[in-house]
Structure 1
Amino acid sequence: MYIAQAYKGLTESWRYVVGILAVFFCWQILGGVPLIAALVLKADSISVLASGDLGAMAKVLGTNPFLFYMLLMFAIGLLSLFVFVKFVHKQSITQLTTSRKRIDWGRIAWAFGLWTVISTLFIIIDIQLSPEDYVFNFKLEPFLVLAVIAIVMIPIQTSMEEYYMRGYLMQGLGVMAKNRWLPLLVTSLLFGLAHLFNPEVEKLGYGILVYYIGTGFFLGILTLMDEGLELSLGFHAANNLTAALLVTADWTAFQTDSLYLDVSEPVFGWDVLIPVFAIYPILLFIFSRKYKWNNWKERLTGKVPSKELFLAEHTDETTLPENP
């Protein structure tokens, strides 16, 4: 059981409360110091910084440097999370990642490849159907720099979100609540609300949160049904990487030198909801057939066993960390 892997470390509630706050501080505050410093060093950038306008910041620094500094925040956050889990919870990164004995890199690669192909096809089809909405934006040198930054840093960014939400928070809430449905619900809502200040929300309205929260539920279901983060890690990385490299717009969170620029007027419509109510269910069906998932109700809403019962059945307690 994925959530119960937390029992192989130290699981007192105070450790999770401190960890959630400490990692968030490292991620959002300490992680933002390099970006702030870079902006402060630019002339007339204080007002831009105070405005919080991501587009203006990207113009001040340049799109590729701005993207790097933004993604660096997630790298600092992920490092702080791993350090906290290892030294405070005495839990291995493998146990934070999966219920399997080893991280299944094949699962990560399969989910990454599947969604890369599908999302790329969707983008190509949309460009063919609505060519007036896109401008070919390819510039060799900026694109090559973008590709290096994106390929290296975006999987780190998406991994931070997955390990923090579907990993640390889901395990912590699960062992405290002793069930699966509460961590699924809470982490999915938090994932959606975490995007509340994205520029997409300002342009499209609060209805776009249905997409973000729905995506949170999809990734949470992947995690609980597959008893690990591997599929959600692969899917999330593919989703953000294809978006960064293929299409950008001046009203999105990612401001990049991508292949195409979307110049259409953003409107919240049915196309925003298609992934949540059509594509994600189809993907869950595909994953369920490939990995032979069963007992959906128990895996998504069932109880998490007590620490004593789980350790008695799964672990030699003499190998566990001592609680100081």
Structure 2
Amino acid sequence: MKHLSRAFDGQNQWWKFLVVMVVAVIVGQIIGAIPLIVVMGVSIAMNGGQVATPENPMDLAAYGINPSLGLALMVIPFIVTLVLAIVLIKSFHQRTSKDVVNGGAPFRWNRFWLGTGVWGAIMLILFFVQLIISPEELEFRFDPASFIPLVFVAVLLIPIQSGTEEFIFRGYLAQGVAGWTKRVWAAILIPSILFALMHAANPEVKEHGLWVMMPSYFVFGVAFAVTAVLDDGIELAIGIHAINNTLGALLVTSKESAIQVPSLFFQQETDPVKESLVLVVSSVVLLVILKQILNWDFSVIWKKIEPPTIADEA
């Protein structure tokens, strides 16, 4: 378990994590949002300052901003956060980005593509089932002029957003919790709770309520964390998270979606409870499939994390 045991290096002091999280995540998001604020200000000025406040604050089209450009601008804070995190983790913890990803080995692209393929297939199956069973819920809105640019922006940039979140939560924070508690289950549970809370400001939460939406974010966070623990690295989780957000943006949007883009379909009404149940079942299916492919041992979750031995480091 090189990924989590990498935290046993004498550099796991709580104040270092506090500094990295505040500067990389909070300051990084603020600095990274400057281009979006500037573009928004210019767009409002060009419209004579007459802009109606949208019901969903993530609906940048209401401010006269092209949705694909808006999506690209929304990813910039994550790029800044990732760069700051890599630099600060190296300075404060003497760990490289490889150490955070999987304990120091080269990035395992085969794992990334495995996660992308398996979860992408599950998502597409669920989407077509919904399309067949309840076609009235989805309104087809294909516009080539807006959709084609969206494909390029989504495929190129959304994985950066997803990868940044995985790097922070399933990589950096999971290692910190592992170093403090020496328990695998804690390294799964605590970052998953923080991951869910990070999404508390999303438009979906405002629309449906905190206690309705938090289980979905928490369940998905646990699924990501379990894959990272059992696979000894976060590449699988990055792939799953990236394809989830990318396909989600391309296929279906709704009035309360956090990503407001010209998707293929618009969902008139959403049932968060039903979607949460579907997410739980599909996450279990995902883990079962990956267990069969990679021969995982789920008992690892309840084991104590041991410091690496000389043989392990060799």
Q: TM-score, normalised by structure 1?
A: 0.87
* Other structure's SS at 1:6 match: coil
Distance 1:157 1:58 in 2: 20
| Deviation at residue 59 of structure 1 after TM alignment | 1.8
* 1:142 and 2:142 aligned: no
Distance 2:83 2:55 in 1: 25
Structure 1's 267 and 180: CA in aligned 2 closer, same or farther, altered over 3 A? same
Equivalenced residue count is: 309
* Other structure's SS at 1:202 match: helix
**Structure 2: gaps of 5 or more residues:** none
1:6–1:175 Cα contact (<8 Å) kept:
yes
* 1:289 aligned partner: 292
Aligned match for 2:257, one of 246, 252, 264 = 252
1:9–1:91 Cα contact (<8 Å) kept:
no
* Other structure's SS at 1:29 match: helix
What letter matches 1:244 in structure 2?
A
1:179–1:304 Cα contact (<8 Å) kept:
yes
| Deviation at residue 181 of structure 1 after TM alignment | 2.1
* 1:6 and 2:7 aligned: yes
| Deviation at residue 103 of structure 1 after TM alignment | 2.0
* 1:126 and 2:130 aligned: yes
Distance 2:157 2:99 in 1: 23
CA distances 1:209-263 after superposition (whole Å, capped 9, x unpaired): 1111111111111111111101111111110110111111121101111111112
* 1:315 and 2:305 aligned: no
CA distances 1:113-154 after superposition (whole Å, capped 9, x unpaired): 111122112112212222222222111121111111101110
Structure 1's 149 and 118: CA in aligned 2 closer, same or farther, altered over 3 A? same
Structure 1's 151 and 182: CA in aligned 2 closer, same or farther, altered over 3 A? same
* 1:234 and 2:231 aligned: no
| Deviation at residue 106 of structure 1 after TM alignment | 0.5
Structure 1's 88 and 283: CA in aligned 2 closer, same or farther, altered over 3 A? same
* 1:89 and 2:87 aligned: no
What letter matches 2:101 in structure 1?
T
CA distances 1:40-64 after superposition (whole Å, capped 9, x unpaired): 2232698979989424433212312
Structure 1's 81 and 140: CA in aligned 2 closer, same or farther, altered over 3 A? same
1:94–1:102 Cα contact (<8 Å) kept:
yes
* 1:57 aligned partner: 60
What letter matches 2:288 in structure 1?
F
* 1:156 and 2:157 aligned: no
Distance 1:47 1:312 in 2: 66
Structure 1's 172 and 255: CA in aligned 2 closer, same or farther, altered over 3 A? same
**Structure 1: gaps of 5 or more residues:** 317-324
* Other structure's SS at 1:42 match: helix
* 1:207 aligned partner: 212
- What is the aligned-residue identity percentage? 28
Distance 2:187 2:50 in 1: 40
Distance 2:97 2:272 in 1: 39
1:8–1:91 Cα contact (<8 Å) kept:
no
* 1:319 aligned partner: none
What letter matches 1:232 in structure 2?
A
CA distances 1:15-67 after superposition (whole Å, capped 9, x unpaired): 22211111112332111111112222232698979989424433212312211
Mean Cα deviation higher: 173-182 or 189-198? 173-182
* 1:26 aligned partner: 27
* 2:42 aligned partner: 41
What letter matches 1:117 in structure 2?
A
Structure 1's 240 and 282: CA in aligned 2 closer, same or farther, altered over 3 A? same
| Deviation at residue 8 of structure 1 after TM alignment | 5.6
* 1:301 aligned partner: 302
CA distances 1:72-105 after superposition (whole Å, capped 9, x unpaired): 1111111111222233322122211114732211
Mean Cα deviation higher: 236-245 or 61-70? 61-70
Give the alignment's Cα RMSD to 1 decimal: 2.4
| Deviation at residue 155 of structure 1 after TM alignment | 0.3
Distance 1:18 1:152 in 2: 30
Distance 2:128 2:100 in 1: 37
